[in-house]
Amino acid sequence: MNKYACQYAIVRFLPYLETGEFANVGIVMSCPDAGLFEFRLLRHIRRITSFFEELDAGIYRRAANDFKQELKRIRNWLDPKQENRINTDLARHLFTELTRPREAMMRFDAVRVVLADDPVQKFDELFGHYVERNFATKAYQEHLLEKNVRRVLADAKLDKQYRPETLGDAATYHTRLPFVHRENGRAVKAIKPLHLAHEDPAQIYDHGWAWLGKVEKLRALKLLPDRILFPVQGPAENDGRRFEIFQEITQIIAANDVMVIPDQQTQKIIEFAQG
């Protein structure tokens, strides 16, 4: 299979020159040998306004729309008319001109080169990584939370008392808990950090209900530790409906005999682990 050399650049939104703060909002890729000039910009305005809290959302919408029109014009100039080929010299020239340093809110990071068997698939992967941050999934975020709890326990010299375990019966139901403490061979305490700060409010419900279901199933099988702690990471208090949903689901979990605390309350994690 042929490998194509593709140039790409990350689009950055930098509304305040004074601070130099920016957000990755898009990807532009040029791969003339594969007949490809592609771009995609972030659609979720909330991420921008969450980062730049005082910014009028209309400023980003207008800047992104103007920039999109510029990119569309370039794509039209490069539209392959025959045999899925484009003018490679023109494509390289336009991409170089497009990505030159500019004093504007929409600008580019340094141009990079990647080899790809399938440039379209690679474009999707790059957008997912640099813009959508698909590496920051629920599993990834909970891995970071677990790492923080492990550090807290180690600093308190409690880490040797807690081990990851799979509780349950292979023939019926089982689930993994990252921190389980046993006494006389019996699981008596467990800690499970939860990431409940999802962009989609439905995912806050879904993930919270999923773990409440795991707790209830282990309890029904008489395999749940006596005490269980969920250090949770949630949306900011000023995040409207997402925070309301987060509060609702954590209150339901707490009402089912699970201790729920903000993940940053490290002293309470230590007190639970020691108690």
End-to-end CA separation in angstroms for the chain: 61
Report how far Cα 117 is from the mean position of its chain's Cα atoms: 26
**What would the two tokens of residue 263 be?**
């993940």
Q: Which residues of 8-46 are buried (b: 16+ CB within 10 A; e: fewer)?
A: bbbbbbbbeeeeeebbbbbbbbbbbebbbbbbbbbeeee
CA distances from 189 to 26, 80, 101, 249 (A): 45, 64, 56, 22
**Alpha helix stretches (DSSP H) within 173-221:** 201-220
Give the global pTM: 0.55
Q: Which is it for the CA torsion 235, 241, 244, 248, positive or negative?
A: negative
SS3 label, residue 182: strand
pLDDT of residue 82: 44
pLDDT of residue 83: 44
pLDDT of residue 144: 84
How far apart are alpha carbons 163 and 169 in whole angstroms? 18
Question: What distance separates the 2 farthest-apart alpha carbons in the chain?
Answer: 76
Q: Give me the domains of the chain, ranges plus CATH numbers.
A: 4-130 (no CATH), 138-274 (3.40.1350)
Question: What are the pLDDT tens digits along the chain (275 aa)?
Answer: 578 999 999 999 999 888 888 999 999 999 988 888 999 998 878 778 877 888 888 899 999 999 999 999 998 888 755 444 567 888 888 999 999 988 889 999 999 999 998 899 899 889 988 887 766 566 778 888 999 999 999 999 999 999 999 998 777 889 999 999 999 999 999 999 999 998 888 989 999 999 999 999 999 999 999 999 999 999 988 888 899 999 999 999 999 999 999 999 999 999 999 98
pLDDT of residue 134: 63
Beta-bridge mates of residue 260: 230
CB 20 within 8 A of CB 14: yes
Q: Which is it for the CA torsion 74, 79, 84, 88, positive or negative?
A: negative
SS3 label, residue 198: coil
